[in-house]
């Protein structure tokens, strides 16, 4: 479903992604882990067609980036730590606007379904600027799933959410994953992603340093695997 090969991204003299290789099968839920500055957000922005790779190939659902970006965008739902919502529009108006941009059919019915899914049906006519951070993020999830995308890209979606909002978000993500959709999510919350994802990739210094399926995790959990991956990366850098 997603394939990135020999991916390089440079910002001027700084190389952020270095020959990154990444494959995701349909229906997988991949948690992309790594320290700050590892290149996770840059990588997701390339996958979402918001940024262009310096070198390398990226295909999503059989379409290549950046040449078939419009076809790729139709398949994608993106959630970032910014809500991408208009504060002076109501929850319903925001979804209607994005629904028109995506050409969603039976839009009124779909908006009602999505508002129910994210638990905002009773606040549908309220302006988004009156929402808490958690409610805005729930609506952002609603915006991302409105057109029923095949692939969801989530960049630290739990950032700034309280416990209830995190659980609500997790419920929505599990619902989406259970429908066979493909998800790639960056996060620093290892305990939370250990429950959600089916595979864990560690991105450091611009490439995937380690990858493991959930069933293969060590008995002491994801944290041990993550620390080991970081230690191996540091050792490799020192050896170089």
Binding site for another protein (CB under 8 A): 45, 48-52, 70-71, 73-74, 76, 78, 80, 82-89, 93, 97-98, 100-103, 127, 143
Whether the Cβ atoms of residue 17 and residue 207 lie closer than 8 Å to each other: yes
What does the block give as tokens for 232? 């191996």
| Least distance CB 109 / another protein (angstroms) | 18
Least distance in Å: CB of 183 to another protein?
16
Choose between 65 and 222: whose C-beta lies nearer to another protein: 65
Radius of gyration from C-alpha coordinates of the chain: 18
Rounded to a whole number of angstroms, the minimum distance from the CB of residue 238 to another protein is: 33
Residue closer to another protein, measured from CB, 53 or 233: 53
- Residue 118 in contact with residue 141, Cβ under 8 Å? yes
**Cβ-Cβ contacts under 8 Å for 179 (sequence gap 6 or more):** none
**Residue number, 132 or 234, with CB nearest to another protein:** 132
Range 140-171 burial, b when 16+ CB lie within 10 A, else e: bbbbbbbbebbbbbbbbbbeebeeebbebbbe
Pairing of strands 63-65, 55-60: antiparallel
Closest approach of another protein to the CB of residue 74, in Å: 4
Closer residue to another protein, CB minimum distance, 93 or 170 = 93
């Amino acid at each position: 479903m997603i394939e990135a090969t020999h991916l390089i991204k440079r910002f001027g003299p700084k190389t952020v992604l270095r020959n990154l290789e990444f494959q995701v099968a349909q229906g997988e839920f991949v948690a992309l882990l790594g320290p700050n500055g590892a290149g996770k957000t840059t990588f997701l922005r390339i996958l979402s067609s918001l940024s262009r790779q310096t070198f390398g190939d990226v295909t999503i659902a059989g379409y290549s980036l950046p040449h078939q970006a419009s076809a790729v965008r139709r398949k994608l739902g993106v959630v970032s730590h910014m809500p991408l919502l208009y504060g002076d529009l109501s929850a319903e108006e925001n979804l209607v606007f994005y629904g028109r941009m995506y050409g969603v059919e039976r839009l009124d019915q779909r908006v009602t379904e999505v508002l129910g899914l994210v638990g905002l049906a009773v606040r549908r006519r309220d302006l988004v600027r009156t929402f808490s951070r958690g409610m805005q993020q729930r609506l952002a999830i609603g915006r991302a799933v409105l057109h029923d995308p095949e692939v969801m890209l989530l960049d630290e979606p739990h950032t700034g959410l309280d416990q209830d909002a995190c659980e609500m978000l997790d419920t929505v993500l599990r619902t989406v994953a259970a429908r066979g959709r493909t998800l790639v999510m960056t996060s620093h919350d290892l305990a939370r992603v250990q429950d959600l994802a089916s595979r864990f990739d560690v991105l450091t210094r611009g490439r995937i340093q380690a990858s493991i399926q959930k069933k293969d995790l060590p008995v002491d959990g994801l944290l041990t695997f993550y620390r080991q991956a970081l230690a191996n990366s540091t050792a490799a850098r020192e050896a170089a």
